[in-house]
A and B are shown apart, each in its own frame.
Chain A
Amino acid sequence: MRLRRTMLYLPGNNPNMLLRGHLFNPDGLVLDLEDAVAVREKDAARILIRDVLKRGEFGSCEVTVRINGLDTEYWRKDLEALVPLGRLDGVRAPKVDDAATVKQLDEALSEIESKAGLEVGRTKIFCLLETARGIFNTYDIATASPRVTAVIPGGEDLTADLRTNRSPEGTELEGIRRNVIVAARAAGVDALDTVFPRITDDEGLRKETSFIKQLGFDGKSVIHPNQIPIIHEVFTPTEKEIERAQKIIAAAKEAAERGLGAVQVDGRMVDAPVVKRALFTLTRAGLLEEGQDNA
């Protein structure tokens, strides 16, 4: 698995942010061609992002682009300019309402990848669910293409569509977040949370991040670099959790060697799901190579 604790939005027409965003060490980047770019600047932003992608200096970040919505005239041009470079790990699609939208995007990507001589299917899809319909269809959306790697509930647009607004407690998003988690896990994709809009409210961010982590989310979209260390801290296991995970792995290994099915660690039975969770803890702590936990 790839860590996606934080994915930082970078305004697509801002060279300063596009070139320096990775220096803040988020797990991923979202070069934004949609809401962060004025309509009359879409062309210039597309050229700028293309050239920044060509240069390709993004540290170890997963690199994605938020394209314009499939209900606009821009999204295909966005893909045609950027996908052939072979540098994008994925595209984040706004306002995905149903499986048909994903299929349309999947087909366009396949056509462009094939024409550019790239492996077909290499560009992943991150789906933003920004309407009640999108939330209602989460599982169908997440399973509409093998490219789908994450679903992300919206914040502002979604609450507007629900005829409410965002409150500091997040009451209006609570049920939605729970539903998205179940659908994402059932589909085998990541669940990434929406942005926390109050950029100076560190405590609020910490509280919301702890909550969504407990629900099972894999990470959060980020709009300000200062939010990154706080979210990483919440998602990073404590010393105690790491120690316990290491004990569990060691015990499981020993049990396997001795031909035993289950063993005990600190008075608790250790079976397959417990081992899986322990491996996950070590991955989040950065103590396992990505992919090693698939064993």
Chain B
Amino acid sequence: MKTAQAGTVESMDCLVTVSEAEPGTGIALTLAGSSVARFSRAMEKAVRATLGELKINDMTVLVQDNGALDIVLKARVEAAVSRLNGGEEA
């Protein structure tokens, strides 16, 4: 299974790990980190919105959060997906 990562676990950042999933299995999202208890719904919405914009229906996503704002979470998801797709290196 192909996997890619983007981000860090530094303050105000998050480490996003994405893996390919079988077609039809949908988005499997795991959120970890101290702020998840309070912000899990907003975080899930941000991740799903970003994947939607990238037209991705099936993917396993793990977010290790250290206080990332929405825009950072979205940027990290996009970078991880781009890397998974073998996108342009750098």
Contacts and interface: CB of A to CB of B under 8 A. Distances in A.
Interface in B54-86: 68-69, 71-72, 74-76, 78-79, 82-83
Interface string A37-57: 001111110011011101100
B90 interface: yes
Interface residues of A, number: 21
Interface residues of B, number: 22
B6 interface: yes
Given A15-B12, A16-B11, A47 B90 contact: no
Given A15-B13, A16-B13, A48 B88 contact: no
Residue from A19, A47, A54 with most neighbouring chain B CB atoms (10 Å): A47
Nearest to B78: A47
Contact of B83 (A14, A19, A43, A73): A43
A16 B71 contact: no
Interface string A142-177: 000000000000000000000000000000000000
A74 B90 contact: yes
Interface string B2-35: 0000111011110000000000000000000000
B89 interface: yes
B52 interface: no
A133 interface: no
Interface string A41-81: 11110011011101100000000000000000110010000
A44 B12 contact: no
Contacts of A47: 75, 78-79, 82
Contacts of B87: 43
Interface of A: 13-16, 19, 39-44, 47-48, 50-52, 54-55, 73-74, 77
